[in-house]
Amino acid sequence: MNELIFFVNKVLISGTIIGCIYALGAIGVTLVFGILRFANFSHADMMTVGAYIAFIFASLMPGAGALIGLPTGFVVLPLAIICLAAFAIVVDRLFYRPLRERKVRPVMLLVASLGVTLMLHGLVRLFAGTSPRSFFQDEKKDVFRFDVPFELASRDIVISEPQVLLIITSIVCIFALHWFLTHTKLGKAMRAMSDNADLALVSGINTEKIVRATWIIAGSLAAVAGTLLSLDVVLKPDLSFNLLLPIFAAAIVGGIGRPYGAIAGGLLVGFSETLAIFNWSILLRPSAEFLPEWIDIPARMAFVPTEYKIIVPFVILIAVLIWRPTGIFKGQVL
């Protein structure tokens, strides 16, 4: 029984957490890819910047969280969202729009996004240093333990407060986005533009407005994902550079321009990762007494050693590109 609880803690909960983060990131990437037609390499660094903005707000008003009973980093999240959405628009004005107006090939925008990535990288390191920081310096991180009502289970199912908040916020974000895309004029225009840009232009959709909305959504989701991730683990400057590949893998698995696909892709990549690095011999160990003696269960039986975790999203990415470049939800192949 304890082994099963270990499985729940290590795979179900961690997989959902990391899957939500990937999904939030992948939605931003897939929207930008679908509407502006380039792979935005700076998205992961936008997440880091968002987390640092939240950190600044949190340290400006310590104790704000204690009033409501939630972590301060979570309470200041709306402020961080506003700042990062505005920041995303400024970045677009400065670096992407001039290129768009010159009607360059979309891949030039990708090069520009690499430049932006490096700039954000440098800014974060310059102003915040390289040492990791924690949102929970002065506060206590609440941890919920659920006792499992079985006799054999002596361990608890453990989930921390930031993790609960992360899952709830992700679900709220996803439903809000769904409502926006299906029920508002702007959202419908965005979907139209993502499906067929020329047709959308001919039917009189204001491109710049759509682009602005795209950046606002991408920036907001990046702020949410970055802040919640750093609430769960720690805040460090290279927090999100390792996230870039899984996020792209999730977006492509789900199909470019398909926000729902991105959610499915994010969860798929997240669970594949946790399942691949999970030590399966823990689950097999109780069965040892039923097995003949000559079968030894090795101490470590993971598909992929933890150090090589990054191989998992890469393999998923390559497999999808070879067999189904449209992704599971039939997105575009640009």
Partner 1 sequence: MNIDQYRREILLFSLVGLAIVAIVAFFGQAYTLRMLAEAACYAILALGLTLQWGYAGLFNAGGMGFVAIGGFITMVVAFPVNDAFWGSEGAKALGFFLIEVAVIVLAVVGLTQIHRIGIRGKLKAVCVMVGLAAAFLFFNNELAPVAKLIETESGFIGGLGLPVLLGWILGGLAAAFVAYWIGKACLGLRADYLAIATLGIAEIIKAILKNADWLTRGTLTVSPLPWPVPTPNDIGFVAARSAYLALTAIMVAVIFVLLQRAYRAPWGRMMRAIRDNEVSAAAMGKDINLRRLQIFVLGSGLIGFGGAALISFARIFDPSGFTPLKHTFLVWVMVLVGGAGNNLGAIFGAVAVYIIWLMGEPVALLLFESVRELGSLWFDWEAPADLMTRALQARVFFVGLTITLALRFVPRGLIPERLNKIS
| 192 Cβ neighbours under 8 A, 6+ residues apart | 199, 200, 203, 205
325 binds partner 1 per the rule CB under 8 A: yes
122 binds partner 1 (CB under 8 A): yes
Instruction: Identify the residue among 24, 32, 80, 116 touching partner 1 (CB under 8 A).
Output: 116
Q: Is 129 in the site for partner 1 (CB under 8 A)?
A: yes
Cα–Cα distance measured from residue 257 to residue 39, given in angstroms and rounded to the nearest whole number: 11
Q: State which residue, 116 or 174, has the beta carbon closest to partner 1.
A: 116
Say if residues 33 and 24 touch (Cβ distance below 8 Å): no
Rule CB under 8 A: is residue 328 a binding residue for partner 1?
A: no
Amino acid (one-letter) located at 233: V
Told to check if 132 binds partner 1 by CB under 8 A, we report no
Count CB-CB contacts under 10 A for residue 58: 27
E strands, the chain, where? Answer: 143-147, 156-160
User: Rounded to whole angstroms, how far apart are CA atoms 290 and 285?
Assistant: 10
Q: How far is the CB of 120 from partner 1 (least distance, A)?
A: 8
- The tokens of 267 are what? 């969860």
Told to check if 313 binds partner 1 by CB under 8 A, we report yes
Instruction: Please report whether residue 310 would count as binding partner 1 according to CB under 8 A.
Output: yes
- Which DSSP helix (H) or strand (E) runs through 27? helix 14-36
Residue 133: strand, helix, or coil: strand
Query: Of 237-266, which residues contact partner 1 (CB under 8 A)?
Result: 242, 244-245, 248, 252
Using CB under 8 A as the binding rule, whether residue 234 contacts partner 1 is answered as no
Look at residue 143 and give its three-state secondary structure.
strand
Q: Which of 131, 202, 293, 295 binds partner 1 (CB under 8 A)?
A: 131
End-to-end Cα separation, the chain, in angstroms: 49
Question: What residues contact residue 81 under an 8 Å CB cut-off, 6+ apart?
Answer: 50, 219, 220, 223, 224
* Candidates 16-24, 158-166, 179-187, 308-316; binding stretch for partner 1 (CB under 8 A): 308-316
Span 167-186, contacts to partner 1 by CB under 8 A: none
Contacts with partner 1 by CB under 8 A: the residue count is 54
Footprint of partner 1 on residues 66-105 (CB under 8 A)? 95, 98-99, 102, 104-105
Angle subtended by helix axes 106-128 and 43-60, to nearest 10:
30
Residue 127 CB, shortest distance to partner 1, in Å, is: 8
Report the interface residues with partner 1, using CB under 8 A.
Answer: 33, 38-39, 41, 95, 98-99, 102, 104-108, 110-112, 114-123, 125-126, 129-131, 242, 244-245, 248, 252, 298, 303-305, 307-308, 310-311, 313-314, 317-318, 321-323, 325, 333-334
